[in-house]
Structure 1
Amino acid sequence: MLEIVLLALLGLISAIFGSIVGLGGGIIIVPALTLLGPQLVGSEIDHATAVGTSLAVLIVTALASTMAYSKKKRVDWRSGWLLFMTSGPAAMIGSALTGHMSNGPFQLSFGIFMLLMAGLLVARDYMKPISRQWPVVRTYTDDKGEQHHYGYAVLPALLVGFAVGLISGLFGIGGGSLFVPVMVLLFRFPPHVATATSMFVIFLSSTLGTGVHAWLGETNWWIVLVLAPGAWLGGKAGAWIASRMTGKALLWVLRITLVLMAAQLITEGLSAT
């Protein structure tokens, strides 16, 4: 019973954080499963199964968040489908590659990636969007009636989608940790629109990535079943919180969490290589 409660809380907490900043929650679920497998399910969980399980849970989290953001008209569907054109296939490629990495190198590379994400979450507070005028121009009107203009070029957007999708499938993180800052800093998306649209793309890409992991037998459906209710509630709760606060305090908690988990992963990765 305690294991079920812990897994349900993991699904809830990871989804809340992921939904607020567009991460998707996988960046917490994957290291938690690999590091705390014996405490959570009574046995070790290999990294490929952790990634496959995380992507399956991300479907639930991202769908709940997308539905909540859609009601507030914050999802840019057109831009989301464009990004998915390359992120979807790339997520399938990344998912197929996960099992070919041994546990030590995977933990080491994922730990380094988490450190980079923590640094990016800090740096983005001090970075300003570029002023370049893109050929595709989009307009968003917020709740106060203020208009925001942003845009992109198709080729750079497709390249971003491919890179993020590949990393998403490889690590099972959803890709929002990269999508959101790129969309805000490079294409000048309003932060709320970037987060909402990112969750929509995560939903589509994680569905394809999960299909690959399931086909390879790298998904623990019992864990998915336990994590899913918390992920659904957390996805909705995160979207609700994000619409009512800047999330700076929670961002700092997330940054510290990422650094601590990254340090543990890097330590174990180095000892295993």
Structure 2
Amino acid sequence: MDYRISLVGLFIGILVGLTGMGGGSLLAPIMILFFKIPPVWAVGTDIAYSTITKSVGSLVHIRQKNVNFKVAFLLAAGSIPATLLSVTLVQSLHKQYSHLIDTFILHALGVTLLLVAILLVTKPIIMKWLERRNFEAQKRAALRGQPLGEKTGRWEKYYRPAFTILVGAVVGFLVGLTSVGSGTLIIAAVAFMFPKLGPKELVGTDIFQAFMLLASGSIGYLTSGTVNWPMVFLLLLGSIPGVLLGSKLSKYIPDRYMRPLIATVLAVSGFKLI
């Protein structure tokens, strides 16, 4: 029982409380780089831990009615089978080519961390652009006398649902391989495809879909026995007070300072793993 892991959980919890996203992406790299845990075990343990934390967040947002279940289930239609597929692939290759799959996971994790780092920095810019775009669209619709909630064509009926499922599948496959990106990689895409979702509903939907995605990954890693449950317990022991502390500190530490800092750490970790 290494209680340094609880300190890691405390650190991750504080970052999540401060930023709402990004901090959890550091867990797998920390386990691999500092605790020398084999990549397959690090990913499985990270996914199990994240499933528990996302389940708590999901319950809170469901009670507050911040979850758009239609969007969440569309994403899950792609992410759940893709996650199970990638976990099955990892476990199958791990039994026969353990050294090869560990190297592959390290590279995949490194690339995903770089992508998450870019999104952390650019997300505020993307969100502001989307807000301006939506405002202009609403203004044009009002000038034409068109109802704001009216369906505007094939995009909403056919293409958007298909594209949403595809986004879920791509992210689900990456999460099954790396445990990283269940929320960060999806939230920008959801904001772009569903501009009528408000900020709270966007976050609530993202957390709920991430829970479903991670739960499917947990089942895969649990059945293969590559989850370190004592480590999961120690991480939770530190992260629960960490999230509470981070949420309080967020009033005093602006998000615009924390995001670039976390993005830099993620990028350095990504390059190191590659």
Q: Same fold by TM (over 0.5)? A: yes
1:218 pairs with 2:218: no
- Tell which has more relative contact order, 1 or 2 (C-alpha 8 A, sep 6+): 2
Residue in 2 that maps onto 1:204: 212
Contact kept in structure 2, 1:24 and 1:199, CA below 8 Å: no
Residues 75, 197 of structure 1: 8 Å contact kept: yes
Could you tell me which residue of structure 2 aligns to residue 60 of structure 1? 52
Aligned to 2:185: 178
- Superposed displacement of residue 239, structure 1: 6.9
Indicate which of 88, 91, 94 corresponds to 2:83. 91
Query: Which residue does 1:256 correspond to in 2?
Result: 264
> Match for residue 34 of structure 1?
32
- Which has the higher mean CA deviation after the structures are superposed, 115-124 or 201-210? 115-124
| Closer/same/farther in 2, CA of residues 107 and 234 from structure 1, 3 Å limit | same
Show the counterpart of 1:162: 169
* CA shift digits 1:175-232 (9 cap, x unpaired): 1111111112333243432222111111112111111111112111111111123344
Secondary structure at the counterpart of residue 102 of structure 1: helix
Counting matched residue pairs gives 243
Q: Distance in 1 between matches of 2:150 and 2:125?
A: 21
Runs of 5+ in structure 1 lacking a partner? 38-43, 133-146, 267-273
Residues 236-258 of structure 1, C-alpha deviations (whole Å, 9 max, x = no match): 66677789997322212211221
Name the aligned partner's letter for residue 120 of structure 1.
L
Query: Secondary structure, in 3 states, of the residue corresponding to 1:214?
Result: helix
Given that 2:55 and 2:211 are in contact with CA atoms closer than 8 Å, whether structure 1 keeps it comes out as yes
**Conservation of the 8 A alpha-carbon contact between 2:108 and 2:177:** no
Q: Report the alpha carbon displacement of residue 76 of structure 1 after superposing the two structures with TM.
A: 2.0
The one-character-per-residue Cα deviations of 1:26-58 (angstroms, maximum 9, x if unpaired) are x21111111111xxxxxx311010000000001
SS in 1 for 2:34: helix
More off after superposition, 54-63 vs 239-248: 239-248
CA RMSD of aligned residues (A): 3.2
Deviations 1:120-165 (A, max 9, x none): 2222333323959xxxxxxxxxxxxxx9999952111111111111
> Aligned pair 1:74/2:66, yes or no?
yes
Q: State the TM-score, normalizing by the size of structure 1.
A: 0.76
Give the Cα separation in 1 of the matches to 2:234 and 2:264: 26
- 5+ unaligned residues in a row in structure 2: which ranges? 94-99, 135-147
Name the structure where strand makes up a greater proportion of residues.
Answer: 1
Name the larger-Rg structure.
2
Q: Report the residue type matching 2:257 in the other structure.
A: A
CA distance in 2, matches of 1:198, 1:241: 23
Are 1:83 and 1:157, in contact at CA under 8 Å, matched by a contact in 2?
yes
Q: Indicate the percent of aligned positions where both proteins have the same amino acid.
A: 24
Question: Partner of 1:41 in structure 2?
Answer: none
**Partner letter of residue 34 of structure 2?**
L
Q: Helix, strand or coil for the counterpart of 1:126?
A: helix
Equivalent-residue separation in structure 1 for 2:201 and 2:251 (angstroms): 11
One-letter amino acid of the counterpart of residue 35, structure 1: L
Q: Name the residue aligned to 2:6.
A: 8
Identify if the C-alpha distance between structure 1 residues 90 and 22 changes in structure 2 by more than 3 Å, giving closer, same or farther: farther
Give the Cα–Cα distance (whole angstroms) in 1 for the partners of residues 125 and 79 of structure 2: 28
Provide the rounded CA distance (Å) in 1 between the counterparts of 2:252 and 2:176: 31
